[in-house]
Amino acid sequence: MNHEVAVTRLETPMTRSRFQSGLDELKDRLTEMSISAERSIELGIEAYLTRDSRIADEVFKLERETNSAEREIDQLAIDLLAMQQPMAIDLRFITACMKINADLERVADQAVNIAECALAEINLPKMKLPVDLGRMATTVAGMIRRALDSFIDANAELAEAVLIMDDAVDRMNKDIFVSMASLMRSNPQSVDQALNAVVVARNLERVADHATNIAEDVIFWVEGKDVRHGAAKEAV
Amino acid sequence: MNHEVAVTRLETPMTRSRFQSGLDELKDRLTEMSISAERSIELGIEAYLTRDSRIADEVFKLERETNSAEREIDQLAIDLLAMQQPMAIDLRFITACMKINADLERVADQAVNIAECALAEINLPKMKLPVDLGRMATTVAGMIRRALDSFIDANAELAEAVLIMDDAVDRMNKDIFVSMASLMRSNPQSVDQALNAVVVARNLERVADHATNIAEDVIFWVEGKDVRHGAAKEAV
């Protein structure tokens, strides 16, 4: 009987420690996933700008790895929710991880779309367009990195900086759309290349949206308040 | 002492019943959200096809309502996770709801993008384009409805039908892209209207992706297996 009690007493801290190491693993796996998502955007734009199909292939490979990682991370999160009654802060952390996970997987999908534009571009005559998609991609990859950093450091201020960057990316996307439409009107020979640039810009803009979603999830987790759709501002 | 025991005994079934009614409420709220998302797509395409800014305004209004609903549904789900240790099937249900919720909110965002194309179109000369965006929108709205029905009825077969419809929508999107690029090359006067059509088609295609995500979440919830990215096929 005494023996049984001793076992029971031992089990409680062990379970908590298993739970804690599960949370750490979740954070580590999501960090890897985020690095991979950022890398896939950088590779996608490199494939497009340098017209290199081997780099596009790397993007397709990364996306398959990301798909597997998403499933594993989701299962890990569900296992943690099932393992014990999580406290409020852990609960918000785990559900934020599940959402961030879904967003990162979709970033890899956007990178695939960009890599597909790269393959289409290879078959077209080279043309110098008055757009800087490389700069836009750097900004967007920076948003993913900051969103991740804000998650690792539980830093809501950094997450809020990501929300501001999103406005700049929206403007870049609109400017590219307007300048490419103007180019297509004046030079019908440029239609395919200009359309490709519009599609790449829209995909980058969507990546920025995913980074924004992640930043919002981080703020929700850290501050326990929901800032989505300006709710925090409304509440002030 | 006896009194206390009686209260404790009563509390367990009461809590379960509160939990159960919370699950029902979650399902009802998500159903309303899905109906609203489908409606916003129908209104968005109607605004675009009829060039009616009042209908576009309805889409903007629906999106604001959807944003509020998303927050409330998320909170409801988190409260349920915190309320008691959910059983595995309930846990999968609640986490599926959180994901479906995020996807439906983004469908409303896509509808806003389409409504913005409607407003841009109003300022352009009318032009008959060789594309049937109305048909594409009907297919896509049907995917949302089926994904919802599969969720209400816990019907994995119906959810699988949504995955098949997604391939058809991808083809429509590609066809529209090719035919609009060809039109722009041959008639530079058509660039703005044709570009708008490309953007509307891409937004519809993204809605189809969200419906597909929802269908995958339903299958995961119902069958307790993960079919994302062909995992189910791999496992067979």
Q: Which residues contact B189 (CB under 8 A, 6 or more apart)?
A: A185
Which positions in chain A touch B231 (Cβ < 8 Å)?
Answer: 71
Structure tokens at A81: 């929710």
- The pLDDT tens digits for A45-79 are 999 999 999 999 999 999 999 999 999 999 999 99
8 Å CB contact of B102 and A98: no
* ipTM of predicted assembly, 2 dp: 0.84
Strands (E), B23-68: none
Nearest by CB: B82 against A68, A70, A91: A91
- pLDDT 10s digit of each residue in chain B, 236 long? 344 433 333 445 556 688 999 999 999 999 999 999 999 999 999 999 999 999 999 999 999 999 999 999 999 999 999 887 778 888 889 999 999 999 999 999 999 999 999 999 999 999 999 999 999 999 999 999 999 899 989 999 999 999 999 999 999 999 999 999 999 999 999 999 999 999 999 999 999 999 999 999 898 888 775 566 655 444 33
**Angstrom distance (rounded) from CA B60 to CA B174:** 28
* Inter-chain contacts counted by CB atoms under 8 A, chains A and B: 96
Contact between B102 and A102 (Cβ < 8 Å):
yes
Is A85 touching B (CB cutoff 8 A)? yes
Q: What is the average pLDDT value for chain A, to the nearest integer? A: 89
Name the residue in chain A with its Cα closest to that of B100. A99
Q: For residue A227, what pLDDT is reported?
A: 61
Nearest by CB: B181 against A64, A181, A191: A191
Q: For residue A225, what pLDDT is reported?
A: 58
Please return the burial class of A74, using the count of CB atoms within 10 Å of its CB with bins 0-12, 13-18 and 19+. Answer: buried
- The pLDDT tens digits for A2-14 are 444 333 334 455 5
Which positions in chain B touch A86 (Cβ < 8 Å)?
Answer: 81-82
Long-range contacts of A164-172 (CB under 8 A, 24+ apart): A165/A139, A165/A208, A165/A211, A166/A208, A166/A209, A166/A211, A166/A212, A168/A139, A169/A136, A169/A139, A169/A140, A169/A143, A169/A204, A169/A205, A169/A208, A170/A205, A170/A208, A172/A135, A172/A136, A172/A139, A172/A201, A172/A205
Q: For residue B235, what pLDDT is reported?
A: 38
Question: Domain spans of chain B?
Answer: 2-235
Q: Between residues A17 and B134, which one has the greater pLDDT?
A: B134
Residue B146: other Cβ atoms inside 10 A: 19
Name the residue in chain A with its Cα closest to that of B229. A67
Nearest by CB: A95 against B86, B98, B185: B98
**pTM to 2 decimals?**
0.87
Q: For residue B84, what pLDDT is reported?
A: 72
Please return the burial class of A31, using the count of CB atoms within 10 Å of its CB with bins 0-12, 13-18 and 19+. Answer: middle
What is the DSSP annotation of A124-160? S-----S--HHHHHHHHHHHHHHHHHHHHTT-HHHHH
8 Å CB contact of A92 and B78: yes
**Angstrom distance (rounded) from CA B24 to CA B21:** 5
Question: What's the CATH code, domain B2-235?
Answer: 1.20.58.220
Q: For residue A68, what pLDDT is reported?
A: 93
- Give residue for tokens 């892209």: B177
Q: At what angle do helices B88-122 and B53-83 cross, to 10 degrees?
A: 160
